[in-house]
């Protein structure tokens, strides 16, 4: 009987730590806004309030289940972020063309039109989701992977957002915008979760089959391939980065993303196999 108690203690300790780091992060954002006159960072605050409002609306009109609400808001974020990233990339494609927009000087030293507010707004979501998971304890263990993931993203994003006019410390806005292309795949990850929570689990239905096709296509091309290409780009352009911590941090970050993508691919395959197996077993039993 002591094991559940230990799990609760681990969850409480983790919650206290990650809440403290979130408070420190939020204080740093307001410090930049108020004392360094970084009014453009108000888009982060706008993102927090927008997604919290979406949380209240879903909770009031659809379901009070914290997991359903969290997944639904995550689906909304993935959809909005994907649309924003596609808009930014298409706009740059038309304005300067594919050859120029992917040059090192453009990716590292420039900021594409609307990329900055898009990144700020997405950063606001990660802060909201971090707090929501802490509030409803949608995590477990002493080192919850989802909270670590959020913390790393918040630190990475805000360092890039702060760096835009200060020190050359982390990869710039355009590289981070490219990493967010993976949100196209996240749409279908969240759709699958919401669909299963809604009770739609027939693996032979056209809706489920179409969802799986889009899930695999976006996983391969919007997540796996994009992150591999970003990693290759960083390695090829390594001499252009010069001295400093920017390149090592970027490579470590992309290594982590590629590793997570590999694990996600394994989880997707196992989930797909389970659904197919469950359907076949039901047919045999009939």
Contact 108/176 with Cβ under 8 angstroms? no
Residue predicted with more confidence, 112 or 156: 112
Q: Which long-range contacts (CB under 8 A, 24 or more apart) does 176-180 make?
A: 176/119, 177/85, 177/88, 177/89, 177/112, 177/115, 177/118, 177/119, 178/107, 178/226, 178/230, 179/226, 179/227, 179/230, 179/257, 180/81, 180/82, 180/85, 180/118, 180/119, 180/122
Comparing 197 with 165, the larger pLDDT belongs to 197
Q: What is the pLDDT of residue 184?
A: 97
Query: Who's near 248: CB < 8 A, 6+ residues apart?
Result: none
Q: Assess contact for 40 and 123: CB atoms under 8 A.
A: no
DSSP 8-state symbol, 164: T
Reported as a pLDDT band with limits 50, 70 and 90, residue 160 is: confident
Core vs surface per residue 225-240: b (16+ CB within 10 A) or e: ebbeebbebbeeeeee
The answer, yes or no, to whether residue 129 has pLDDT greater than 80, is yes
- 282 pLDDT higher than 90: no
What residues have CB less than 8 Å from 161, skipping those under 6 apart?
41, 44, 116, 119, 120, 123, 173
Is pLDDT of 61 > 90? yes
Q: Model confidence at 1, in pLDDT bands (50, 70, 90)?
A: very low
* Residue 4 clears pLDDT 50, i.e. is over it: no
Q: pLDDT tens digit string along 85-119?
A: 999 999 999 999 988 999 998 898 888 999 999 99
**Can you give the residue ranges of every domain in the chain?**
5-284
Angle of CA points 249, 81, 121, to nearest 5°: 75
Least confident of 179-193, 222-236, 242-256: 242-256
Instruction: Identify the pLDDT of residue 7.
Output: 60
User: Residue 245's pLDDT band (boundaries 50, 70, 90)?
Assistant: confident
Statement: residue 166 has pLDDT above 70: no
Residue 250 makes CB contacts below 8 A (sequence gap 6+) with: 170, 171, 175, 234
Of the listed ranges 108-117, 136-145, 183-192, 226-235, the least confidently predicted one is 136-145
pLDDT digits (tens, 9 = 90+) for 17-45: 999 999 999 999 999 999 999 999 999 99
Average pLDDT value for the chain: 88
Per-residue model confidence (pLDDT) at position 172: 72
Q: What DSSP assignment string belongs to 171-230?
A: --HHHHHHHGGGHHHHHHHHHHHHHHHTT---TTSHHHHHHHHHHHHHIIIIIIHHHHHH
For a pLDDT cut of 70, what percent of the chain falls above it? 91
Mean pLDDT of 186-196: 94
Q: What is the pLDDT of residue 136?
A: 93
């Amino acid at each position: 009987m002591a094991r559940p108690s230990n799990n609760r203690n681990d969850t409480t300790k983790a919650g206290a730590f990650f809440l403290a780091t979130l408070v420190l992060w939020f204080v740093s954002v307001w410090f930049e806004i108020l004392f360094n006159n970084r009014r453009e960072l108000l888009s982060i605050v706008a993102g927090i309030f927008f997604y919290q409002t979406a949380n209240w609306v879903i909770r009031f009109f659809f379901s009070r289940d914290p997991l359903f609400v969290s997944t639904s808001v995550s689906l909304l974020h993935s959809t909005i972020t994907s649309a924003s990233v596609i808009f930014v990339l298409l706009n740059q494609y038309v304005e300067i063309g594919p050859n120029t927009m992917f040059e090192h000087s453009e990716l590292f030293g420039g900021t594409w039109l609307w990329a900055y507010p898009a990144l700020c707004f997405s950063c606001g979501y990660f802060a909201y989701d971090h707090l929501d998971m802490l509030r409803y304890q949608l995590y477990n263990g002493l080192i919850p992977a989802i909270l670590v993931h959020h913390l790393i993203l918040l630190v990475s994003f805000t360092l890039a957002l702060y760096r835009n006019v200060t020190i050359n410390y982390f990869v710039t806005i355009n590289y981070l915008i490219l990493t967010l292309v993976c949100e196209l795949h996240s749409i279908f990850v969240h759709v699958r979760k919401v669909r299963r929570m809604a009770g739609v689990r027939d693996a032979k239905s056209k809706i489920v089959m179409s969802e799986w096709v889009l899930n695999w296509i976006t996983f391969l091309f919007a997540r796996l391939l994009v992150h591999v290409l970003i990693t290759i780009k960083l390695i090829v352009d390594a001499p252009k980065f010069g001295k400093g911590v920017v390149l090592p941090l970027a490579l470590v970050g992309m290594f982590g993303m590629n590793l997570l993508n590999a694990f996600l691919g394994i989880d997707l395959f196992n989930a797909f196999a389970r659904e197919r197996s469950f359907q076949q077993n039901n047919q045999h039993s009939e």
